[in-house]
Amino acid sequence: MSGWRWLEGAEGSYSWSFVGRVLAKALALFLLTNLAFAAIDPWPLLGRISLYGHLAPLRPRFPYGEQPDRSYSLSLSDMNALFGSHVIARPKAGDEYRVILIGDSSVWGFLLRPDETLAVALNDLAMTSGDGRQIRAYNLGYPEMSLFKDLLLLDRALAHDPDLIVWLVTLESFAPQRQLAPALVRDNADAVRRLAAQHALDLDLDNAGLAEPDLLGRTIVGRRRALADWLRYQLYGLAWAATGIDQIYPDEIALRASDLQADESWHDFDRPRDFAAGEISFPVLAAGNERAGATPLLVVNEPMFISDGANSDVRYNFWYPRWAYDRYRELLHAEAASAGWNLVDLWDAIAPQEFTDSPVHLTPEGTRQLAELLQPAIRQLAGEAF
Amino acid sequence: MTLAHIAAFTGLALVYGLLLPARLRGWAVLAISVIAVYWLQPALPVRYLDFALPTATLLLTTCVWWLTRPAGRGVTRDDGWTLALIGAIVLALALTRNLRADLRLTASRPPDALVVAVVLALIMAALLVVWQALHRLWPGAVLIVMMIALVVLFVVQKAEPLAVATSALLRAQTGQQTNLAALTDLQWLGFSYLAFRLLHTLRDRQTGRLPALSLREYTAYALFFPALTAGPIDRAERFVADYQALSQARGLLPSRLVIGGTRISIGLLKKFVLADSLALFALNPTNAAQTSDAGALWVLLYAYAWRLFLDFSGYTDIAIGLGILFGVRLPENFDRPYLRQNITAFWQSWHMTLSNWVRFYVFSPLSRALLQRRPRPSPLLVVFSAQVVTMLIIGLWHGVTLNFAIWGLWHGLGLFAHKVWSDHTRVQYMRLAGRPRLRMLWHVAGVVMTFHFVALGWVWFALPDTQAALAVFARLFGIGR
């Protein structure tokens, strides 16, 4: 290749001392760059750099997935990259009443196309607030069952000036062992510690495996996985822009089980008994309400699949024994009443045939029905009298 | 080659250059190459096939060397030692069968060493009998039979129905499910390149151009490990000149380290950073079917064009860099092909060693043969036929499918169209000599048009069937969904 001719000097063009100098300089540069990177820690700033909104359109929901080559999306833990690629990064319009939806995979829209999610269904209702602003919903759901993960996203989302927060919850997200389990939580140790301290949450942070990088971990070498993921995520934006696909849709969906085991266990509870303090994570839900401050927050007990198959007298579905779910609902109503939370309980509001592969994942029609059911509460909180 | 392979070869190069006595260098290159045939072979689902195919590579190489020896050249002591070394490596690799998987160099557990030895001995004896019979009956046919055998093997491996049938046959022999047979079952590492190297030596022996080579020189040429997986396709006489000089050359010179090391580094950047990043959104059958917007499809197509170039030329850089570290200068394969002003110049700078090979062994003989016909055909017809056939062969070299054939035809017609165009516009082009701006405009327009002609041709290359390719063509120009 003619471009290489500069390298093809006579055999004696380079000496060992030249090689030594090059290697020494390369090593010095490598060490200095890594140390400078660790000292300055520009990662939070780098994460803010995004091709989304410039070369690729902003995404309507957060990236999530383990097969990026097929879904053009991947699970990321960097909050700046997540929010920087999301439509919520757009400046809020003057006539916009901003509603953010927080919750698990049912809010995110598992097996639903980007235009079939709850946020889109709510926007299709073309609601307006009491002062005439257009109500616009944003999908900030993330497919992990953890209230603390929701709290983390809520905390970050407040920077985007929401007018209303709608937080969809289900019992599974209240299990204490799930709170710090998601990678999204473990990789955001600073925010986790801050939120736990601010709201006096009794969480075992020291044994949660929080990622708190040391000096080596803050170097380029230490951050290589995060850097590579960030770069891949930016590039997948172009594939996402071309295809509009952000998750894998199987040809056939294995439906949630209707015939159930005669099993009354739920997580660490092998038989029915009351929840003791600390065995169900209401304090995290309370922290979210506190964190929202003056921004109204609507807690929604999300719809779930109710089986009428074998052993449905023992369990509602694959996830929940009846005793645990019934007790959870009682406690949820009691907590909401005593703390003054806005609560809508839609646990049995959607017909069983509208659930897909899990007890909380809805069909597009089920999602549309859920939006209709949420409409009155949202209108009310948005200040429209009717 | 993975990063681990490249790192290991680079490390070996340093030991080779700094510590190994000069007289052993040729032997070391041979031994590393033979081991690399097994080490680089990907795992295959058919039992023992990922050991059998590398062994077949060695057998074929040895057979073709035997056939391409000049008349009267016997077997020397050096040849005997080479055969012993190759046999010892094969048996040693088979003996690793009882080691832990992570200590083995083969893709999966090799067969029993005794079975390997017996089967190899039987095959070699059978081949010798066939050779003697053929040699006695029809001496001139031996080389032709070998060439045909290589082409048949090539077609079987590259044509899906034949590959699937062969895989099913092999699966039946090993007691595996035949309905799972697939084209990828016969993924034979580097066979496309090996076949062309062997064919070159067979043809050159026919024409008397091939110099006398020892088994060691011949095997090192055919299997030189940096060029095993992705070329370039060197010429035997050029390679052997470097190979013979290994025992006289000084150890690892700083120049070689700088030039080879730089070349490897740039290859790594091109392949593992740039090409692999572009691969995330480059055109492929899945995203082609999912994309309806014309603008987005163009982005995917551009990404594919650059990814292909950076991937392939990156591998070539790595191969050339490793070659330099080991003291062998492999030929260049790319010379800024996307900056060429016309399709003829593109093919003089893209995969140059393949296009030179096909020009030398197909285009020129075919053109000569056509020109010798009576009545003599028109020169344009000769050029048309030779270019189309040449490019069809280049297309089918990548895989025996309709899309690769169309891709070859696309370029054959493009080359012919350019020939006609340049014949007609030569005078106008000469007149631009005194008008540099217009000449520059002509040049830029040529580069843009050539790049887009090549990029559009990649649609046939990237997609598995004609219908999908036609649908993409339609959508690229705003027709259809």
Q: Is B159 a domain residue? A: yes
Q: Is B57 a domain residue? A: yes
Indicate the DSSP class of residue A100: E
Domains and CATH numbers, chain A: 19-381 (3.40.50.1110)
Q: What is the pLDDT of residues A34-67, one digit of tens each?
A: 999 999 988 878 878 899 999 999 999 999 988 8
Q: Is B257 a domain residue? A: no
- pTM here is 0.90
Chain A residues within 8 A of B335 when measuring between CB atoms = 1-3
Q: Which of A15, A22, A235 is the closest to B277 by Cβ? A: A235
Distance from CA of A19 to the nearest CA of B (A): 7
Distance, CA of B167 to CA of B169 (rounded, Å): 5
CB–CB contact A16 B258 (8 Å): no
Chain B residues within 8 A of A228 when measuring between CB atoms = none
Q: Are residues B236 and B326 in the same domain?
A: no
Tell me: pLDDT of A4 over 60.
no
CB–CB contact B280 A16 (8 Å): no
Q: Which of B258, B263, B277 is the closest to A19 by Cβ? A: B258
Q: Are residues B229 and B340 in the same domain?
A: no
Question: DSSP for A285-322?
Answer: HHHHHHHHTTS-EEEEE-------STTTTTBSSSS-BH
Q: Which of A1, A18, A235 is the closest to B281 by Cβ? A: A235
Q: Are residues B118 and B201 in the same domain?
A: yes
Residue A1 pLDDT: 47
CB–CB contact A16 B254 (8 Å): yes
Residues of chain B with pLDDT under 70: 481
Q: Which of A4, A18, A69 is the closest to B254 by Cβ? A: A18
Tell me: pLDDT of A196 over 60.
yes
Q: Are residues B222 and B283 in the same domain?
A: no
CB–CB contact A232 B280 (8 Å): yes
What radius of gyration, in Å, describes the C-alpha atoms of chain A? Answer: 25
Dihedral angle over CA of B371, B375, B380, B382, nearest 10 = -40
Q: Which of B257, B287, B336 is the closest to A239 by Cβ? A: B287
What is the domain range of residue B107?
Answer: 3-252
Give the mean model confidence (pLDDT) for residues A75-92: 94
B303 touches chain A (CB under 8 A): yes
**Largest CA-CA distance found in chain B, in angstroms, rounded:** 76
Give the mean model confidence (pLDDT) for residues A155-183: 96
The candidate with the shortest Cα–Cα distance to A348, out of A373, A324, A368, A313, is A373
Chain B residues within 8 A of A3 when measuring between CB atoms = 335-336
CB–CB contact B255 A9 (8 Å): yes
Q: Is B261 a domain residue? A: no
| DSSP H stretches of helix in chain A | 16-40, 43-48, 68-71, 79-84, 105-108, 118-124, 147-157, 183-186, 189-198, 224-243, 282-292, 322-339, 364-381
ipTM score: 0.84
Q: Are residues B237 and B359 in the same domain?
A: no
**Which of A13, A16, A229, A238 to mutate against chain B (most B CBs within 10 Å)?**
A238
Distance from CA of A56 to the nearest CA of B (A): 10
The candidate with the shortest Cα–Cα distance to B445, out of B463, B469, B429, B466, is B429
Q: Are residues B330 and B369 in the same domain?
A: yes
Q: Are residues B431 and B318 in the same domain?
A: yes
Residue A386 pLDDT: 45
B465 touches chain A (CB under 8 A): no
Distance, CA of A223 to CA of A229 (rounded, Å): 10
Which long-range contacts does B142-146 make (Cβ < 8 Å, 24+ apart)? B142/B67, B143/B67, B143/B68, B143/B202, B143/B205, B143/B206, B146/B63, B146/B64, B146/B67, B146/B202
Which long-range contacts does A242-245 make (Cβ < 8 Å, 24+ apart)? A242/B281, A242/B287, A242/B290, A242/B291, A242/B293, A242/B296, A242/B297, A242/B299, A242/B300, A243/A72, A243/B287, A243/B290, A243/B291, A243/B296, A244/A113, A244/A114, A244/B290, A245/A71, A245/A72, A245/B290
What radius of gyration, in Å, describes the C-alpha atoms of chain B? Answer: 24
Q: Are residues B278 and B222 in the same domain?
A: no
Q: Is B181 a domain residue? A: yes
What tokens appear for B242 in the block?
A: 């470097």
Closest chain A residue to the Cα of B331, Cα to Cα: A1
Residue A2 pLDDT: 47
Q: In 10 A of CB A10, how many CB atoms? A: 7
CB–CB contact B254 A15 (8 Å): yes
Q: What is the pLDDT of residues A263-309, one digit of tens each?
A: 999 998 888 888 887 789 999 999 999 999 999 999 999 999 999 99
Closest chain B residue to the Cα of A74, Cα to Cα: B280
**Which of B274, B278, B283, B287 to mutate against chain A (most A CBs within 10 Å)?**
B287
The candidate with the shortest Cα–Cα distance to B60, out of B151, B183, B165, is B151
B300 touches chain A (CB under 8 A): yes
Distance from CA of A79 to the nearest CA of B (A): 22
CB–CB contact B280 A70 (8 Å): no
Tell me the residue length of chain A: 386
A3 touches chain B (CB under 8 A): yes
Residue A344, SS3 per DSSP: strand
CB–CB contact B263 A15 (8 Å): no
Q: Are residues B172 and B229 in the same domain?
A: yes
**Which of A4, A13, A18 to mutate against chain B (most B CBs within 10 Å)?**
A4
Chain B residues within 8 A of A10 when measuring between CB atoms = 255
What tokens appear for B463 in the block?
A: 């997609």
Question: What residues pair up with A86 in beta bridges, in sequence order?
Answer: A59
Chain A residues within 8 A of B297 when measuring between CB atoms = 242
Residue B6 pLDDT: 97
Residue B71 pLDDT: 83
**Largest CA-CA distance found in chain A, in angstroms, rounded:** 89
Q: Is B260 a domain residue? A: no
**Which of B248, B256, B280 to mutate against chain A (most A CBs within 10 Å)?**
B280
What single letter denotes the amino acid at residue B344? T
Question: In the predicted model, what is the mean pLDDT of chain A?
Answer: 92
Q: Are residues B81 and B9 in the same domain?
A: yes
**Which of B274, B281, B300 to mutate against chain A (most A CBs within 10 Å)?**
B281
| pLDDT confidence tier of residue A13, bands split at 50, 70 and 90 | confident
Tell me: pLDDT of A7 over 60.
no
Closest chain A residue to the Cα of B262, Cα to Cα: A7
Enumerate residues 6+ apart whose C-beta is below 8 A from A301.
A169, A170, A329, A332, A343, A344, A345, A346, A347
Per-window interface: A 109-148 vs B, CB < 8 A: none
The candidate with the shortest Cα–Cα distance to A170, out of A63, A299, A355, A61, is A299
Q: Which of B255, B277, B299 is the closest to A12 by Cβ? A: B255
Residue A27 pLDDT: 97
Distance from CA of A16 to the nearest CA of B (A): 5
Q: Is B31 a domain residue? A: yes
Q: How many CB pairs under 8 A join A and B?
A: 75
The candidate with the shortest Cα–Cα distance to A62, out of A32, A36, A47, A82, is A82
**Which of A1, A5, A19, A22 to mutate against chain B (most B CBs within 10 Å)?**
A1
Closest chain B residue to the Cα of A242, Cα to Cα: B296
Tell me: pLDDT of A3 over 60.
no
Closest chain B residue to the Cα of A248, Cα to Cα: B286
Count of structural domains within chain B: 2
| pLDDT confidence tier of residue A10, bands split at 50, 70 and 90 | low
Which of these three, B217, B252, B287, is where a domain ends? B252
Give the mean model confidence (pLDDT) for residues A329-353: 96
A232 touches chain B (CB under 8 A): yes
Cα B450 to chain centroid, rounded: 24
Q: Which helix (H) or strand (E) holds B116?
A: helix B113-137
Cα A72 to chain centroid, rounded: 17
Tell me: pLDDT of A12 over 70.
no
Give the mean model confidence (pLDDT) for residues A117-135: 96
Q: Is B263 a domain residue? A: no
Distance from CA of B254 to the nearest CA of A (A): 5
Q: Are residues B236 and B276 in the same domain?
A: no
What tokens appear for B426 in the block?
A: 């030569």
Strand order in the sheet with A297-301: A134-139, A96-102, A164-169, A297-301, A342-345
Q: Are residues B226 and B302 in the same domain?
A: no
